[in-house]
A = this chain, B = another copy of it.
């Protein structure tokens, strides 16, 4: 038996979690929300609406237009989004370690 958890952030609705983190990581790699969405098997429209809803609840932009370049355009994550990604990832990582310890403490001697 092992503990599994999910952690996310809310602010009048969900504002960040595993899914948004993955999309933004893929935008960082591909430089495009369209490519990120495609890699996740999600329509561009759905990804766009998701990001817009999160931005609305956060009160900050997560993506900004990448201007110019060889391919002209695309998206990049904002410094605010980078901070959010970093802090959420670190929170999740430490939570994993701590929850494993809590599980061992509370389930010590339990027949499984």
Give me the interface of A with B, judged by CB distance under 8 Å.
1-11, 15, 58-60, 80, 83-84, 87-88, 90-91, 94-95, 98-99, 102-103, 106-107, 110-112
Evaluate whether A15 and B3 lie within 8 angstroms (CB atoms) in the complex, with A91-B102, A91-B103 already known: no
Contacting pair B5 A5 (CB below 8 A): yes
Q: In chain B, what residue has the closest Cβ to A9?
A: B1
Give Cα A2–Cα B15 distance, bound, in whole angstroms.
Answer: 9
Give Cα A98–Cα B91 distance, bound, in whole angstroms.
Answer: 11
Residues of B with C-beta under 8 A to A60: 111
Contacting pair B2 A11 (CB below 8 A): yes
Contacting pair A9 B4 (CB below 8 A): yes
Evaluate whether A7 and B10 lie within 8 angstroms (CB atoms) in the complex, with A90-B106, A91-B107, A94-B102 already known: no
Residues of B with C-beta under 8 A to A59: 112
Give Cα A73–Cα B102 distance, bound, in whole angstroms.
Answer: 38
